[in-house]
């Protein structure tokens, strides 16, 4: 009945889970579903097996994907689980009835995947760039307004019964500020359009390509920063690689600047940003961070407890439409890759 074996290592959340399962089963996939992060248990059905394993435990992932000597045709994830060389060595080992052929990743980032090992074993990588661009762009605008208008401290004071009618300093409006975008992909473009519509001046720097909409491009990052009141990063990043925004870059921003990272952990040096926020003489006055170098069960950051830092747990793109579209599109791309001439099932 089922043509492929699919391991979903981190399933869609809660009410979207059944839709993801049915999409995979309808496409001919026998599904093993890891529900370590989900409080929902789907109804039993043919071709569905449920496990509960820590998603960042490489040893458990390897053990599951090998499943004795059977293996899986494809693995799908949505939590940026690191897939190093050892994962591909195990999942593609000789003797497996189903050596790994496809890895599907929700979102646009694949820097956590050892692409050289995937290529060496002929494993195709598919992902879903752009599916959450609108959700992230809207979230970033919310972050910017929350920091600029001090919504979190006002909320906390009000809940404590304290009437603090005047914000410290002069509250600024979006129309008097310049938004600097370091990187420009699907999300950067969505944010640029929305910020411009709200009256912000938008500047863009990106490492590759030209031709933005409603924004002026600058040739170098160091040309962007001195003109920027609100910096939002949207570039690629390799885990463990150098930060795009570190101490020298933060020092170039305009006085009173706000730094936003809802793209990828590691793009902004978290320790440098924390130190900047603690220094009353530093240009950076506020920050909003949704992505971190250490997340989920391993979460820690130098920004924890730092005044002026608005921290959220990697939720910018988790709208219902975006999550549903990404889950379905990822399954569709996995199956299309498996059905290709180089990925025919054993």
Active site residues: 264, 295, 314
Residue 322, Cβ density class (10 Å: 0-12 exposed, 13-18 middle, ≥19 buried): buried
For residue 218, give both structure tokens. 């600058």
Determine the Cα–Cα distance for residues 104 and 4; give it in Å rounded to an integer: 14
Residue among 89, 10, 30, 18 nearest 345 (CA): 30
Answer yes or no: are the C-beta atoms of 294 and 300 closer than 8 Å: yes
Q: Is the sign of the CA dihedral 191, 196, 201, 204 positive or negative?
A: positive
Residues 6+ away with beta carbon under 8 Å from 90: 62, 65, 66
Could you give the CA distance from residue 279 to residue 307 in angstroms, rounded to a whole number?
A: 11
Query: Which are the contacts of 213, defined by CB distance < 8 A and separation ≥ 6?
Result: 189, 192, 193
């Amino acid at each position: 009945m089922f043509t492929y074996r699919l391991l979903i290592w981190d399933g869609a959340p809660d009410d979207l889970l059944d839709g993801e399962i049915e999409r995979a089963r309808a496409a001919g996939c026998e599904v093993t579903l890891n529900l370590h992060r989900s409080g929902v248990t789907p109804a039993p059905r043919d071709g569905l097996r449920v496990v509960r394993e820590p998603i960042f435990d490489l040893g458990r992932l390897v053990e599951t994907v090998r499943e004795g000597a059977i293996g899986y045709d494809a693995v799908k994830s949505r939590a940026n689980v690191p897939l190093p060389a050892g994962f591909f060595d195990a999942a593609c080992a000789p003797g497996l009835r189903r050596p790994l052929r496809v890895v599907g990743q929700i979102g646009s980032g694949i820097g956590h995947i050892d692409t050289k090992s995937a290529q060496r074993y002929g494993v195709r990588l598919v992902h879903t760039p752009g599916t959450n661009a609108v959700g992230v762009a809207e979230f970033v605008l919310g972050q910017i307004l929350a920091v600029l208008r001090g919504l979190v401290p006002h909320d906390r004071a009000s809940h404590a019964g304290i009437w603090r009618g005047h914000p410290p300093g002069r509250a600024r409006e979006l129309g008097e500020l310049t938004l600097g975008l370091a990187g420009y992909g699907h999300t950067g473009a969505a944010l640029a359009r929305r910020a411009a519509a709200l009256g912000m001046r938008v500047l863009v720097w990106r490492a590759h390509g030209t031709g933005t909409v409603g924004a002026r491009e600058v040739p170098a990052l160091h040309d962007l920063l001195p003109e920027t009141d609100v910096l939002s990063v949207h570039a690629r990043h390799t885990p463990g690689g150098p930060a795009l925004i570190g101490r020298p870059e933060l020092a170039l921003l305009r006085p009173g600047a706000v730094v936003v990272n809802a793209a990828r952990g590691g793009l902004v040096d978290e320790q440098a940003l924390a130190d900047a926020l603690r220094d009353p003489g530093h240009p950076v006055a506020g920050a909003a961070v949704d992505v971190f170098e250490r997340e989920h069960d391993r979460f820690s950051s130098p920004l924890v407890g730092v005044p002026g830092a608005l921290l959220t747990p990697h939720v910018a793109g988790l709208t219902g439409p975006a999550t549903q579209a990404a889950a379905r599109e990822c399954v569709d791309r996995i199956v299309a890759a498996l059905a290709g001439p180089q990925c025919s099932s054993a």
